Chain A
């Protein structure tokens, strides 16, 4: 462990940049004065306020995605020192304990829009595919929802915290642009809606969406996903559950033939 960083220290930040989707990536190095309480977002803000590289070249500010700045919107996923995580909850003091330099790069499993901004629309499309919603009859006032026990709530809430950040998809060996695998996050959402007393009524629709190519059987059970999820979504549990339920669903369909 190094000594606490003092004011006056200069951070070296290595950023992998790319001007447009079709362009070649390149690297730029920036020097940013250290401040206490800094996170990676404030490092990027400092670069925007003075977009000059370490060798004195004026450049454009680095483009990146963020909104909430408190690890709840899912926007700011990136590779920080090679590890996928949220930039907003990544504190500089912690990074400095790993080494003197900070490196930032975009996620690799999604198309780069510019610099650290990637296009994750594939994840939102997947939520349509697994019909991740409760098909209520109407929004009119027809009374309260079903009674739910604390136990059920405690099973659903952690699944419902998924912020579609894509960290789990990034580390999944089965998920990439050459494969159709839907990825861990949407599978967990299917599991969530199948737990809900009303969602259950349309459980087979969700299961069937996960039974074909690109579905649950493409998961190699590497369990990389669950290790990186910043919201601790119980991905392995959900994958196991959907795996079992799709098997039962297949048997049911075979019997009904």
Chain B
């Protein structure tokens, strides 16, 4: 075993993948998690994981296509070398999962069964019923338990990460964490710290995410100097069901297995959906996007649902809702087939709404679902393959040396919009490549190994955390943190989700300041020294308020539409002219504007913590393999844009070739 230790914070797919790989590589791991790792948020993932497979290959699909779909889906905001590497690894990741015993659904011949997901024309998604995340997480959890039994991994469950420990040169030397039962605060010295702490959906109050997804850990790293990238990119999933405590997801897999989205053609049609004849149903996604149909990427599906509901077609008078139809009448697929492939999500709908979705259409609503943004991380491009140099300690490293981020906590793979079933992939991939990266880091530790550090460094860090806790526990103002959280969620959901505009964003920032002031006046209804959940929650609320501002300011500053970030004030008007020449001219204008927008905004947002608030800067995106192009997904009426863009690219290439002569 190496004498160096690694601390991994978080035991979702990313953290567990890293833990098992490092353990195999004989590197000692401390694994810290707020919940027993087997209960991590990754268990919620339903639909599947993407990889080029036997079936799609037979149709001409390649890893390159997966790469291309991912980058187009992210509207080119994803750095291409890491995405390329990930897509080329995808089949290997799935082979490994298969060997670890994940009970993937099978084809009649015993191959992995596949289905289609959004943003692609290929059936590139493998799945285990409709609980793929749970099944993948269990397989990795079992492997980590195996190493735990051998003493290579030590778990600290029900422990909460409070912050990284940096030495006076700014190198990460470990972290501080707290036992959530005894409230003991302890330093964990380490030569590398990996944050695998997931997303931050709780900033929006109710979302599809689990209760520990506050972003607290990322916020604490950000507060210590780690850059936070693309905060404004938050995915709103088109199809969830409401609850008093959570918005529960109905996976994209439902549409992948032929589910259809529609509203009655007649606004406010009072009939039961089963009584509305085919001709009187408006399948708006299929009509508007004949090529991708119900499987356009999520940002587009969500905006289209918003738009029809805004036009008065909502099927629920109180909110924006549409039908998602899995009945045999709409899909032509037999109930028993869907039950086998979608069991878990059908159960969820039945359990929480009391209706069998195979007998009548589901009512579904958009819900905050995923954070594309996260801690900024580095990578090293391989000049030969255009992917990554895997033996580089830079991969997944934040700007703080020795501090890494993987999984939903990082910003790396999904650009302005994540494609369905790509997250489980990015989590496991980033976890696995930590093996070679950490081995490389340990070959040549910048500033020597951690055991040379004075004990004082760790004592002081623990001391600071204890003081902060004492200050929190002293709070006895009139504001209740749980109620403040509800208000924060309502504010953010109202103004910083699907449709954004600058006036509202400015107003949101003012209101966030006010919430921040009220936070200072909050009181803890529990100040005891044992299993104090109020303490942990209130601390996280402070973090959420801080990140909320970073998200809202990032959104305010970015004056364009890209992927999930949609500001109608800055959308480029589509060509509409009747007359062909005029239409072409409008399309030319459109392309020019789109090009100018890329010049200005095809950049990663970087937020740096300062005592006065976030300082923003922008960094170019590495688009070295695939050139940006308009993201129309074959929208009816937008063909002319694609045509003109292609012609102009060809012309520019011709001119370049001529000039070179």
Contacts and interface: CB of A to CB of B under 8 A. Distances in A.
A230 to B, nearest CB: 10
B534 A134 contact: no
Nearest to B533: A63
Interface string A124-160: 1001100111111011011111011110111011001
Interface in B123-144: 128-129, 131, 134-135, 138-139, 142-143
Contact of B106 (A72, A117, A150): A150
Contact of B39 (A67, A141, A157, A161): A67
A132 B142 contact: yes
Interface stretch (A2-10, A47-55, A97-105): A47-55
B39 A134 contact: no
A15 B531 CA distance: 17
Interface stretch (B309-317, B410-418, B460-468, B479-487): B479-487
Given A69-B246, A75-B35, A150-B106, A198 B101 contact: yes
Nearest to A64: B533
Contact of B138 (A35, A153, A160): A160
Contact of A49 (B21, B111, B344, B482): B482
B99 A134 contact: yes
A93 B376 CA distance: 45
B506 interface: no
A67 B533 CA distance: 13
B530 interface: yes
A63 B633 CA distance: 48
Contact of A149 (B24, B106, B242, B246): B106
B487 to A, nearest CB: 11
Contacts of A153: 103-106
A133 B143 contact: yes
Nearest to B104: A153
B38 A69 contact: no
B290 interface: no
Contacts of B24: 138-139
A158 to B, nearest CB: 9
Interface stretch (B90-98, B398-406, B651-659): B90-98
B95 A145 contact: yes
Contacts of B101: 133-134, 145, 156, 160, 193, 196, 198-199
A37 B242 CA distance: 8
B145 interface: yes
Contacts of B606: none
B530 A50 contact: no
Contacts of B104: 153
B531 A163 contact: no
Contacts, number: 189
Given A72-B131, A73-B43, A114-B530, A45 B145 contact: no
A148 B245 contact: no
B106 A113 contact: no
A67, A141, A160 pick with most chain B CB within 10 angstroms: A67
Given A49-B480, A49-B483, A132-B145, A20 B99 contact: no
B342 to A, nearest CB: 13
A161 B136 CA distance: 11
Interface string B599-639: 00000000000000000000000000000000000000000
Interface string B87-122: 000001001101111011111101100000000000
A68 B44 contact: yes
Contact of B38 (A51, A70, A74): A74
A148 to B, nearest CB: 6
5 contacts: A35-B244, A113-B531, A132-B145, A153-B103, A163-B38
Interface of B: 20-21, 24, 35-36, 38-41, 43-44, 92, 95-96, 98-101, 103-108, 110-111, 128-129, 131, 134-135, 138-139, 142-143, 145-146, 148-149, 181, 210-212, 242-246, 248-249, 340, 344, 348, 351-352, 432, 435, 480, 482-483, 486, 525-526, 528, 530-531, 533-534
Interface of A: 19-20, 35-39, 41-42, 45, 48-51, 58-61, 63, 66-75, 88-89, 91, 113-114, 117, 120, 124, 127-128, 131-136, 138-139, 141-145, 147-150, 152-154, 156-157, 160-161, 163-164, 193, 196, 198-199
Ranked 6 nearest A-B pairs via Cβ:
A145-B98, A133-B142, A42-B244, A60-B526, A114-B531, A49-B482
